[in-house]
Structure 1
Amino acid sequence: MSLDIGFHVHSEEAIDRHGLFDDQMSIVEFLRRVKRMEDLPYDVTVHGIDDFLRSAEKPLETCDYVYQILRDHVNFLLTQNPRVQFVVRDVEYWDEPVLRDGNDEIPLKRIFHGIEQEGSGWYYSNINVQS
């Protein structure tokens, strides 16, 4: 798998093509490690961000919470230089990548401001989520 350093959101179909990293953790563990500035594996697959956002009482505020953790710890993340693969059940792309929550949409740009499509079911954002 040839991925740049940064954040990659992969649908399950993209995972079938690209595979998973050996090191894996939940979104809760990933956010905890970032917030506490604990070492991260260089290559890590993170599961559950879609369920985490969909199950929140206020998904958009939860997106903002995740964004703030990544933004506030950008220097730590830059020293770690990880390749983080977020696996989601399904991601749709119209004007921007979104996760469906019933009739509602959860925009991934709310977390990863510079996220761009790299391929079918594959989206990329650099570590500095503000850009």
Structure 2
Amino acid sequence: MARLKGFTLIELLVVIAIIALLMAIIMPALNSVKKKAATTVCLTNTKNLSLGWYMYMGDNDDHIMSSEDNGIDKNGTYVGWCGVPHNVNGSPLSNTQADPPVTDEDEKRGIEIGVLYQSCSAQGLRCSLWWENCPILFFTDH
């Protein structure tokens, strides 16, 4: 009788181990690519928001788009696209406040506390760490 030639169990296990090792090397690289893609989406969205704010400023004598005083949910949490203007001490100001008048710096501080400004969903980061991961030029040219 002729003996059939085929792979031994050891040879098959070695091939499976090599494939598993290659997958262990490739998978983290694929995760980092996915994270970079999510960061790109974040940067694109942020760029579009900034562009809209700059366009508003260009059409309105370099005044920053104002935020809403009434962006509060039923629990008292602010949920507006940007925060109300805040003075240097961090106290909220009214958009209709006349004395002292709301300045562009007050408006910037309000935008910085807003829901859209602080979040980069690609990393789930907020506030100062956000700038290290989703950097853009934002109101720095004026």
TM-score by length of 1: 0.26
Structure with the higher strand share, 1 or 2:
1
TM-score by length of 2: 0.24
Structure whose alpha-carbon radius of gyration is higher: 2
Structure having greater relative contact order (Cα 8 Å, sep ≥ 6): 1
Structure with the higher helix share, 1 or 2:
2
